[in-house]
Amino acid sequence: MWRPFKPSGEIVEMNPSEIRLRTTLYFGPGAVGRMEDILGRYRRRGARRVGIVTGTKSHILSGAWDRVEEALEKNDMEFELSSGVPPNPTVDVIEEAVELFKSFGPEVIVGIGGGSPIDASKAAGALLKSEGKSALDLYTYRFHPKEALPIVAVNLTHGTGTEVDRYAVATIPEKRVKLGAASDAMYPEFAVDDPELTLSLPEKQSLYVTLDAVNHAVEAATTTVTSRFTEMLSRECLGVVADHLPRLKDHLKDVEVRGALMHASMVAGVAIDNSRAHITHLLEHALSALKPEVPHGLGLAILLPAVLKEIYPARAEVLSRLLRPIVPGLKGREEEAEAVAREVERWTFSVGVEEKLSDIGIGEEDVGELVEIAFSSPALKGTEKLSPVGLTREMARRIYENSLYPLSE
């Protein structure tokens, strides 16, 4: 009987796995030019109205908006714009977009941005097909979308991988939780990864989003449902990031460097779509609920070394293969855990992400609350199933405490 495999640490050749490959993605410099053809396909099927979800300025600064507007005009399509989706969007922000679109009646939804606008567009696309359901229903898992309007994602960063996966993340402020909804209906039907659209992304943000991709790769390769396929994608991500991220700060306008990082982020997106994330994302989501202003990738980068210290012994083989591009010489032995954590932290510092929790206003007195938020999250159950180690409150506490200051101190 086919059933998901629970690996003991080694990836087995015949490991039964569910391989997900859904979105048609146009990748590379100039790929945004495909928007005319993408929208044309919907136009030929009779669609006239497009609902567009964006952030505040990135769709303009990146140059994406001009190209999308041109594609709309060429296809004689009308649009309604829901702009201003902030980082870490709330369920209310998604509701506003849905309300705005309801009277307009779009037949297609286009999300242009980093993870937040694209995730909001996916959630809105699903809610617009489900009369009477709210964003709160979606994010408290009372509602699981079976269908959605066709979604097109124009990606403007290199981190989330959301353009090729079925996830959409949002925060419920009153419950202090940040959660990911997942549905087969929320895959973008088409996506654009055009590195030229990332050239205006500021340095810090560029670093943080890349560290998000690194965490996707590490987590996806170490879940209980990982596969050879996922490990391949994760290793590709780490290899490419190790080669290109150190060059990023001096090459912010370099399409080749941006393209490489966009590729790394995309393959890590397919990896989490096939395997999901686990502890680092759960604990970062708790951090984000307490401090919504902390960028997702930064929170993950801060926690990664302490998480590795906990999970490395359980997945030493896989993690040694994965992390060798940034920590050369790993042998895959359990006792390397401590050194791996320190070396990975040294590496994140060297590429320009030097903050720890104490630098972003989190102190020892906040650790108990963070653990409580994480352990009251509806995502806890899933994380427990997927995590390579049994996650306890003590372990979560240790991870936060070990992330307050640099490990080397």
Residues near Fe ion, by CB under 5 A: 212
Residue 293 phi/psi, 5-degree rounding, is: -80, -10
User: Least distance (Å) from Fe ion to the CB of residue 204?
Assistant: 17
39 vs 303 by CB, closer to Fe ion:
303
User: Least distance (Å) from Fe ion to the CB of residue 161?
Assistant: 8
How far, in Å, CA of 289 to CA of 362, rounded?
13
189 vs 212 by CB, closer to Fe ion:
212
User: Least distance (Å) from Fe ion to the CB of residue 176?
Assistant: 19
25 vs 272 by CB, closer to Fe ion:
272
15 vs 58 by CB, closer to Fe ion:
58
Which residues, 6+ apart, have CB-to-CB distance to 99 below 8 Å?
none
User: Least distance (Å) from Fe ion to the CB of residue 70?
Assistant: 31
Which residues, 6+ apart, have CB-to-CB distance to 256 below 8 Å?
none
How far, in Å, CA of 186 to CA of 188, rounded?
6
CA torsion through residues 127, 113, 54, 89, sign:
positive
11 vs 271 by CB, closer to Fe ion:
271
Question: Cβ distance 209 to 297 under 8 Å?
Answer: yes
212 vs 273 by CB, closer to Fe ion:
212
User: Least distance (Å) from Fe ion to the CB of residue 16?
Assistant: 26
User: Least distance (Å) from Fe ion to the CB of residue 251?
Assistant: 24
Question: Cβ distance 50 to 149 under 8 Å?
Answer: no
When CB distances to Fe ion are compared, the closest residue is 212
Which residues, 6+ apart, have CB-to-CB distance to 12 below 8 Å?
5, 228
DSSP-based three-state secondary structure for 31: helix
How far, in Å, CA of 6 to CA of 139, rounded?
28
Sheet holding 24-27, edge to edge: 24-27, 190-193, 151-155, 108-113, 49-54, 78-82
Closest CA to 367 of 299, 277, 286: 286
212 vs 336 by CB, closer to Fe ion:
212
User: Least distance (Å) from Fe ion to the CB of residue 186?
Assistant: 16
